[in-house]
Structure 1
Amino acid sequence: MKFFPLSIILLFFSCIQIVQADVKNIKICTPVWEYYTQKDGTGLYHDLWRLIFQSAGITLDIKYAPFKRCANAVNEKKSADYDVLTAGYSSTGTITPKWHIGVDLLSVAYTKNSVDKWTDSSLLENKRVSWLRGYDFDTYGIVPKSVKRQELNQIKSGIKKLASGRTDFLIDYDKAILKIIKEEELGDKVDIFSNVLKGPKYYMIFADTPKGKALAKIWDDGMEQLNKSGKLQAMYKAAEDPAY
């Protein structure tokens, strides 16, 4: 076993403290999600960031971009374009904090009268199934690997594909699907099985850098304080989000 001098160990921990103390801003890459990360600064996740980071004197630098672009930017730690992806599954090459930001509870939209009832995810086997680009539901076991994956840039285009019979199912979150069905007046053509697919927890995914490590620690400390105070549960309840 190799031992290190006490002076080196102390220097290592002092460097971590300096990095954490020197964190002045956080560069967040996120898609625009209604009720969570709206461009006007409203939404549950914006509220969390203000409470945890901004109240600690850290400036929020938010870039809105498609999910896959954000994920690639955070995973490419050499570029250091962003410090964190808003919501992703735990993966190698990045830092996953202790406290999650959400739990996947997904709804399945389908062409009206094409399905009698929901049984389980086996209903999707060998079917054309659409979801937003980068979500990788088939990779994480949320849907069978045999699905014929059709990636979307926007949920709206997927709803229209359902209405015209160009896809069999669409997976996303209940509020988002119902809102578009209503806006596009497609309630006579598209129906929905609400909250039938449960996936894993998802997290703020931090870049594997010294700054990313410091920010992940600040996130965990802040979430723990919100949890102890009861404010975390109140915020998620107000947003009708079952993650807490």
Structure 2
Amino acid sequence: MMYRLTVLLFCFFIVQSAVAEQKAQSQLQISTPVWPGFTNADGTGAYADLFQLIYPKDQTELVWHFSNFGRAIHLVQQGKHHMVPGLSAYESGNEHQGLLLSAHPFDFDLIVAIYDPTHTAPPQLELLKQHKLAWDLAYDLHLVLGLPEKGYEVLDIKQGLELVKNRRVDIYLAEKSELHQYLKGEGAVQLQPLRYQEMLRDPIYLAFADNESGRLFKALWDKRFLSLYKTGQLKQFYQTYPQLTLPNLH
């Protein structure tokens, strides 16, 4: 009798351990800045809904960790979180170290140049290197835009706009959707008298930790993203979010 009880208890603890392990594996730890409309502080937004479409709620729990972009990248590089969205294929080697990019981009950044027309002529892509530039921390836009060196890195859009207004820099480079979302918010620095000019569209990817869990989540993403693209479900999803651009995978 005692032997049977011991075996039953042993089996119970094995099952409990397996259930606990399965539960831990079903949590996708996402490291990201708060991008209003995309990754909101309450875990909602266009990207949040896209991630839940790829990783169904009954299979995967999305766990959000918010910080600035540079720290979000480093936490995934260190293997502390599984995934960070929004990396360009042009990021520096240091930014990509310890990371695995998704097989396909999932959106595009439309880079705009914000300037004061009373001080600076309408920007041209090939002439940007002649100007004093600024952009958000950890964005590596000098690689995307083919510039010889980094610009001044700012913490947020508010600081970037103020630098242009105070003529500390000639041009602040930002992502158009992020700029529009910021300008809609309460207490936002007004754009006027500044203007912006569209520069280029840069495809962006998800970056996964280069470890066993990260590779598993990447494989699931790549497989399901392509599958939903072929069935037309992704196209239907993207049509409900005008701030997103579905890449052409053909």
Q: Which amino acid aligns with 1:84?
A: M
- Distance in 1, matches of 2:44 and 2:38, equals 7
Are 2:105 and 1:100 equivalent residues in the alignment?
A: yes
**Residue 88 of structure 1: how far off its partner (Å):** 1.2
Corresponding residue for residue 145 of structure 1 = 148
Q: Which amino acid aligns with 2:81?
A: Y
> Matched residue of 2:25: which SS?
coil
- Distance in 1, matches of 2:25 and 2:189, equals 45
Structure 1 73/179 Cα, relative in aligned 2: closer, same or farther at 3 Å?
Answer: closer
Corresponding residue for residue 229 of structure 2 = 227
CA deviations on 1:124-153 (whole Å, 9 max, x unpaired) are 114221111001111x24241146x11011
- Distance in 2, matches of 1:171 and 1:59, equals 35
Are 2:197 and 1:193 equivalent residues in the alignment?
A: yes
TM-score relative to the length of structure 1: 0.79
Q: Is the 8 A contact 1:124 1:143 kept in 2?
A: no
Corresponding residue for residue 59 of structure 1 = 61
**Residue 72 of structure 1: how far off its partner (Å):** 1.1
- Distance in 2, matches of 1:33 and 1:207, equals 21
Corresponding residue for residue 123 of structure 1 = 127
- Distance in 2, matches of 1:56 and 1:102, equals 25
Structure 1 86/175 Cα, relative in aligned 2: closer, same or farther at 3 Å?
Answer: closer
CA deviations on 1:157-213 (whole Å, 9 max, x unpaired) are 1111111111111111113334555743341x211103x2233x2211000111111
Identity in percent: 23
> Matched residue of 2:57: which SS?
helix
- Distance in 1, matches of 2:162 and 2:171, equals 11
- Decide which structure has greater helix share: 2
Instruction: Return 170-179 or 23-32, whichever deviates more.
Output: 170-179
CA deviations on 1:54-100 (whole Å, 9 max, x unpaired) are 33511111101100001111112xxx310111221343432122132
Structure 1 55/99 Cα, relative in aligned 2: closer, same or farther at 3 Å?
Answer: farther
Q: Is the 8 A contact 1:122 1:144 kept in 2?
A: no
- Distance in 2, matches of 1:20 and 1:48, equals 23
Corresponding residue for residue 37 of structure 2 = 35
Corresponding residue for residue 209 of structure 2 = 207
Q: Which amino acid aligns with 1:142?
A: L
Q: Is the 8 A contact 2:32 2:66 kept in 1?
A: yes
- Distance in 2, matches of 1:57 and 1:131, equals 38
Q: Is the 8 A contact 1:54 1:60 kept in 2?
A: no
- Structure 2 unaligned regions, length at least 5: 1-20, 90-95
**Residue 117 of structure 1: how far off its partner (Å):** 3.2
Corresponding residue for residue 238 of structure 1 = 240
- Structure 1 unaligned regions, length at least 5: 1-18
Structure 1 72/22 Cα, relative in aligned 2: closer, same or farther at 3 Å?
Answer: closer
Paired residues in the alignment total: 217
Corresponding residue for residue 89 of structure 1 = 88
Q: Is the 8 A contact 1:163 1:186 kept in 2?
A: no
- Distance in 2, matches of 1:25 and 1:86, equals 16
Structure with the greater alpha carbon radius of gyration: 2
**Residue 122 of structure 1: how far off its partner (Å):** 2.4
- Distance in 2, matches of 1:72 and 1:236, equals 29
Q: Which amino acid aligns with 1:198?
A: R
**Residue 234 of structure 1: how far off its partner (Å):** 2.9
- Distance in 2, matches of 1:64 and 1:101, equals 20
Q: Is the 8 A contact 1:142 1:198 kept in 2?
A: no
Corresponding residue for residue 133 of structure 1 = 137
